[in-house]
Structure 1
Amino acid sequence: MLMALVPLLIWVFAFEIIPVFQMVVMSFQNSDGLGFTLDQYYKGLTTSLYLEAMKNSIVISINSSVAAMIIALFVAYSITRFTTGIRDQLLMVSNMMTNFAGVPLAFAYMILMGNNGALLLLLERMGVEAAGSFDLYSQTGVTQLYIYYQTPLAILLVYPIFYGIRTEWKEAASLLGASTWKFWRYIGIPVLLPGLLGTFSLLIANALGAYATAYALTGISFNLLTIRIAALVSGDIFPNFQLGSALAVILAIIMIFSLVVNELMLRWSRRRGT
């Protein structure tokens, strides 16, 4: 039985543990790849370019995750009210949309909402003045792309959570005179909260690690931490693998921090529920 796990262990060591270990070791080396130093972390945490990249990544991740969660709450609850056939079709569409990301998504948005996008030109001809001021290649545009591919994932993750609320609870609350608002305030939301917090943390981690969509849309002109890491590793004339590794470790720490905060909130919500 244990021998069946050997291929899995080899794969995990070869493609997960060893690369991460090498990245961490490289982050403590100087530009020549020799000696032990904290200079790479000092540069990453004091240089305005990288600090701005961290800020942009965190802000976009939080904003897109919050927007995706709000949309997913209403959509997922609506899906539970349909028949089984329609429900399966809607979930299949949502599952397909989760794979529409990266270069295809960026290209589609360029065609629709770029500087000469078809949708923006149509809105301008219809007299919508705000269409002319929209900039797809700004933080607002990048956030919209993130919301687009985060929302289907949020729907798939939030949808099963609603089945944790039993119909009998609603009926019992109604018989006791509780309004719909009171049911969701004292029963529904506390039951949903742990699952929603877990979904929210996954969305933040997903957005923090995203690279292809933003890079395909803006190249290196928009400052995100993943884009800066890629530029240091492969995009510059003189790559700096050590600094890129340090920034990757910082990104991993930010993700771990978000997961730790989520775990603390989960424990708080469970204690409050009990």
Structure 2
Amino acid sequence: MTSKKQLFVWILPFLVLILLFFIVPLLYMVISSFSNGHGFTLDHYQEVLTSSYILQGFKNSITLSAVSAVIALIVTLFAVYAMMRFSEPVRERILMISNLTSNFSGIPLAFAFIVLLGNSGLFTLLFEKWGIDSLTSFSLYSWGGLLLVYIYFQLPLSLMLLYPIYYGIQQQWKDAAALLGASTFHFWRKIGVPIMLPGIVGTFSVLFANAMGAYASAYALTGSNYNLVAIRIGALISGDIFAQPELASAIAVLLGVTMIIAMLLSEWSIKKTRRNL
């Protein structure tokens, strides 16, 4: 009993932290989404579901998150495959760098891209000097620029999530397949990729949720010029014209529901894939 009491005392600060910074704000957000200052109402949800502008924000956010997650997955699948050919110390250094760069996001990341690829950025001026700028209409402050920034902060996270999955592919399996006459391509198509598929699907769901909740980088680049759900929530809370925190809470709840649905679909896909193995 004494050990249980000691354990409870040790985890009590953690429980209080979760209560104050997660449970209470979540409950307040949900309650606020059903309130209009006078009582219970569903008007905020009706406005969200009937507003073409807010629905466009959801569409833009889902598209941007899905595309950036898929591209980051494809790039890191090949990157981690190449990493496995390096020695253990080299792989550890790459993972350490990935861990550091995964924390480089938000406004500092947006500022770095503006310095490099903004209207007067280093590479922009170099491209103009070399005459390359006429070959492309790329703008950092457009959908393509946002996609580039999103892919950048998705890559380190994807690499760190996929590395353990690759590490689980045992060398004995490759040797056995080679002895039976299977090529490297056939090994990965018939054995490697099916085994890794549940982990890949799970990684995609994490990357999708990570991009859906991103706010600072997108806002620093485009302000309110590009319609994303996170930017709409921030605008309604800060009040570009006047604050509407209850409507922002309703949008945030639906954003959370979207992420939960994505996670449930991912979990269903993972279970289905494992049953088919």
Q: TM-score range by the shorter chain?
A: over 0.9
Instruction: Choose from 161, 164, 180 the match for 2:165.
Output: 161
Aligned residue for 2:143? 139
Instruction: Choose from 8, 14, 25 the match for 1:8.
Output: 14
Aligned residue for 1:209? 213
Aligned residue for 2:70? 66
Question: Which 10-residue stretch deviates more, 56-65 or 76-85?
Answer: 76-85
Kindly indicate whether the alpha-carbon contact (under 8 Å) linking 1:112 and 1:119 is maintained by their aligned counterparts in 2: yes
**Does 2:30 correspond to 1:24?**
yes
**Does 2:230 correspond to 1:230?**
no
Aligned residue for 2:115? 111
Q: Secondary structure at the match of 1:18?
A: helix
What residue ranges of structure 2 are gaps of 5+ in the alignment? 1-6
**Does 2:124 correspond to 1:124?**
no
Distance 1:170 1:132, change over 3 A: closer
Instruction: Choose from 248, 251, 256 the match for 1:247.
Output: 251
Instruction: Choose from 150, 154, 158 the match for 1:150.
Output: 154
Note the C-alpha offset of 1:124.
2.9
**Does 2:212 correspond to 1:198?**
no
Kindly indicate whether the alpha-carbon contact (under 8 Å) linking 1:164 and 1:191 is maintained by their aligned counterparts in 2: no
Note the C-alpha offset of 1:90.
1.3
Aligned residue for 1:263? 267
Question: Which 10-residue stretch deviates more, 121-130 or 69-78?
Answer: 121-130
Note the C-alpha offset of 1:264.
0.6
Note the C-alpha offset of 1:107.
0.9
Runs of 4+ in 1 over 6 A off after TM superposition: none
**What is the one-letter code of the residue matched to 2:128?**
E
Task: State the identity %.
Answer: 50
Aligned residue for 2:96? 92
**What is the one-letter code of the residue matched to 2:71?**
A
Q: Deviations over 1:205-229 (max 9, x none)?
A: 0000000100111111111100100
Q: Deviations over 1:117-163 (max 9, x none)?
A: 22122123323245551111111110100000100110111111111
Question: Which 10-residue stretch deviates more, 59-68 or 45-54?
Answer: 45-54
Q: Deviations over 1:64-123 (max 9, x none)?
A: 000110111111121121112221211111111111111111111112111222212212
Kindly indicate whether the alpha-carbon contact (under 8 Å) linking 1:27 and 1:40 is maintained by their aligned counterparts in 2: yes
Aligned residue for 2:3? none
Rounded to whole Å, the distance in 2 between the matches of 1:145 and 1:160 is: 25
What residue ranges of structure 1 are gaps of 5+ in the alignment? none
Q: So what's the TM-score if we normalise by structure 1?
A: 0.95
The size of the alignment, in residue pairs, is 271
Rounded to whole Å, the distance in 2 between the matches of 1:170 and 1:3 is: 49
Question: Which 10-residue stretch deviates more, 124-133 or 233-242?
Answer: 124-133
Q: Secondary structure at the match of 2:226?
A: coil
Q: So what's the TM-score if we normalise by structure 2?
A: 0.94
Rounded to whole Å, the distance in 2 between the matches of 1:83 and 1:197 is: 28
